[in-house]
A and B are shown apart, each in its own frame.
Chain A
Amino acid sequence: MKPAEFYQRDRLLQPPALTPNYKTSVGRSPRLAMLSLQGSMSEITGPTFGHSDIDPIDNDLIKNYAKAGDPIGERIIVHGRVLDENGRAVPNTLVEIWQANAGGRYRHRKDSYLAPIDPNFGGCGRTLTDENGYYFFRTIKPGAYPWRNWVNSWRPAHIHVSVFGTAFVQRLITQMYFEGDPLIAKCPIIETIPDQRAIEQLIAPLDTNAAVPLDCLAYKFDIVLRGRRSTLFENRLEGN
């Protein structure tokens, strides 16, 4: 296989660093321009993971921290595919998620929101995509929660998603939102994304076809990583 190149990241679809309505970004955004760098071996490679790294129960948030019973909340499946911009599946890649419980409370020593912890819910999961790039989790739909941005800011229900791909330049962390949530239109973190189509790409539709009758609903969330460039001119003397 010839060394890869990856499509340039579309910075007009991605959130810029400085987005003042999301206040924390003001002090944590570089003021100088980034240095654009064509990919070398350092960029086109990245960590690989295997089934020995994780356990089969790791993708089941209903069971992976259950102590004395199941967690309280709306039982859902979150499933989809990891693809690249060419529409090709990204197989065997690590997908990690984390989220609040049904009441919007995170199991984190720094979260002091008054909604209670669920003793049977941890809030994290991980899995590897299969040979078709497919993944799934079972979990509880997270609740909205307040945060100190404006006086009365509330995050929409969301699940944080982390994906690796095959190259360090495909590394991505994003957030999945739920179809129909009226808080989406009011969220300054979502508003950091300058393109409405890119925002809609983060909203998972209800997928009743994938629901389990009398058990749980389902949402579909496909993830697109940067495309790997096909080498059109195989004999370029300048090489990679």
Chain B
Amino acid sequence: MVQPLPYLKETASQTAGPYVHIGLAPGAAGFDIYRRELGWEIAAQGVPGERIRIEGLVYDGTGAPVKDILIEAWQADANGIYPHPEDSRHAEVAPGFRGWGRIITDFDTGLWSFETIKPGPVPGRNKRMMAPHINLWLVSRGINIGLNTRMYFEDEDNGADPVLNLIEQEDRRRTLIARRTATGTYRFDIRLQGEGETVFLDV
């Protein structure tokens, strides 16, 4: 026998289920309980940067919108700084910038949207710059473990992004790039399965 390795094991994930809103967005579930729900404001008014709106649908393998999805977003500010102590520049982050948001769908249509500021480029591994992006995490009924992906912007230079360039099939890179539909408005649809399947990340 060898010596035991005394690491604990990560707690297993389970689906968030159809009633995830009770815990994470009780107002959407239909009741008022907390003084303030968390995740509704990624960047307060007045935070420097271009204010943008992002909307989209999440589709299942049959092409139907997933109406009970919950998405969390995590992004840097307009200067590419994360409000977190691991970011060496975090002391300079814009006041009022939270960087994190919770996004729920319209239960009838599945459409979701959120407002934020456009993130700046962030240094990646080995000091290679990453193109502006928003990190997304999707949970819902039928999803056993949260799905990670990234959203990039079609009006930015994504050609040198080290993560997009890891995607072997070049046409799949497009699944991570939001379309600009109007000034300050982007459309980002996510396809969980099948034709045009979004690239998901094991981070």
Q: A residues engaging B (CB < 8 A)? A: 1, 3-4, 7, 9-11, 13-17, 19, 22, 24-32, 34-49, 53-55, 58, 64-65, 83-87, 94, 96-99, 106-111, 122-124, 126, 160, 162, 166-169, 171-175, 189-190, 192-193, 195, 197-199, 201-202, 223-227, 238-240
Contacts and interface: CB of A to CB of B under 8 A. Distances in A.
Nearest to B83: A48
Interface of B: 6-24, 26, 29-31, 33-36, 38, 60-62, 66, 68, 72, 74, 76, 82-87, 98-100, 107, 122-127, 130, 133, 135, 137, 139-148, 150, 163, 166-167, 192-194, 197-203
A7 B7 CA distance: 11
A98 B20 contact: yes
B201 A30 contact: no
Given A199-B12, A224-B8, A36 B193 contact: no
Contacts, number: 273
B60 to A, nearest CB: 4
A96 B39 CA distance: 13
B34 A49 contact: no
A201 B86 contact: no
Looking at chain B's contact residues, the main secondary structure is loop
Contacts of A35: 166-167, 199-202
A15 B145 CA distance: 7
Given A35-B166, A85-B8, A201-B12, A27 B61 contact: yes
Contact of B100 (A41, A47, A111, A160): A47
B14 A106 contact: no
A190 B5 CA distance: 27
B10 A13 contact: yes
A29 B22 contact: no
Residue of A28, A53, A201, A224 most packed against chain B (CB within 10 A): A28
A85 B9 contact: yes
A173 B201 contact: no
A37 B145 contact: no
A168 to B, nearest CB: 5
Given A53-B38, A239-B126, 19 more contacts: A4-B86, A11-B202, A15-B12, A17-B147, A28-B141, A31-B194, A34-B200, A35-B200, A36-B202, A42-B74, A46-B74, A58-B34, A86-B8, A98-B20, A111-B19, A122-B33, A167-B86, A192-B144, A226-B10
B193 A172 contact: no
A136 B199 CA distance: 38
A42 B19 contact: no
Contact of A174 (B14, B26, B197): B14
B23 A96 contact: yes
Residue of B13, B30, B66 most packed against chain A (CB within 10 A): B13
A19 B135 contact: no
B136 to A, nearest CB: 10
Contacts of A41: 76, 82, 86-87, 122-124
Contact of B192 (A29, A107, A224): A29
26 contacts: A4-B86, A9-B202, A14-B145, A27-B62, A28-B61, A28-B66, A28-B192, A40-B130, A40-B163, A42-B74, A42-B130, A53-B38, A85-B7, A96-B24, A110-B107, A124-B22, A160-B16, A160-B23, A168-B203, A173-B146, A174-B14, A175-B14, A201-B9, A202-B14, A227-B10, A239-B127
